Amino acid sequence: MDPLLWAMLLSLLPISELRGGIPYAIASGIDPMSAFVFCFLANILIIIPLFLFLDFIHENLLRLKVYKKGFDFYTKNIRKRKERVEKAYQTYGIIALSIFVALPLPFTGAWTGTVIAWLLNLKRTKSFFAISLGVLIAGIIVTLITPRALSILSFLIQ
């Protein structure tokens, strides 16, 4: 299979996302700019389907009393605090979401950002753009770091 397709597939997955896709693509000999563009696009493709999936699962699981009780307990305090400062929350929550997703660390990508936005009931459009901006920043960082990291690794292996 084409290395670019593998990189895009890695960028769609929740653990690796583009933090795994871009290094794989560059290590496979793909131009860093192409790796960045394709992995970025693949990574943000998951945001909207994930919102819809979370809605679907949530609606169906709400029929179970145990789930409903646990979910209500978990989100009650978060959403109550959020309501008190709604305007600031919609602004700064979105900024914080972008920064969180932009950190090129495991479990801080589009998947986790989407789940956080869904749990906090942030506006979908703003969340999509905030998560996309975070993915863009993370992608730039990973794309810039990867060639240097690969050269250091190849030096250490030799």
- Interval 65-78: pLDDT, tens: 998 888 888 777 77
Placement of tokens 């986790």 in the chain: 112
- Cβ burial of 105 (10 Å; 0-12, 13-18, 19+) is exposed
**Taking residues 133-158, what's their average pLDDT?**
92
* DSSP assigned state of 24: H
CA distance 83 to 121: 11
Contact 25, 15 (CB under 8 A): no
pLDDT bin (cut points 50, 70, 90) of residue 85 is low
Identify the pLDDT of residue 82.
Answer: 66
Identify the pLDDT of residue 122.
Answer: 86
Report pTM: 0.86
Domain that holds residue 114: 3-157
pLDDT bin (cut points 50, 70, 90) of residue 7 is very high
Does 108 score more than 80 pLDDT? yes
**Taking residues 45-66, what's their average pLDDT?**
93
**Taking residues 100-129, what's their average pLDDT?**
91
- Least confident range of 31-40, 64-73, 83-92, 109-118: 83-92
Our count of domains for the chain comes to: 1
Phi-psi region of 17 (alpha: psi -120 to 50; beta: other; left: phi over 0): left
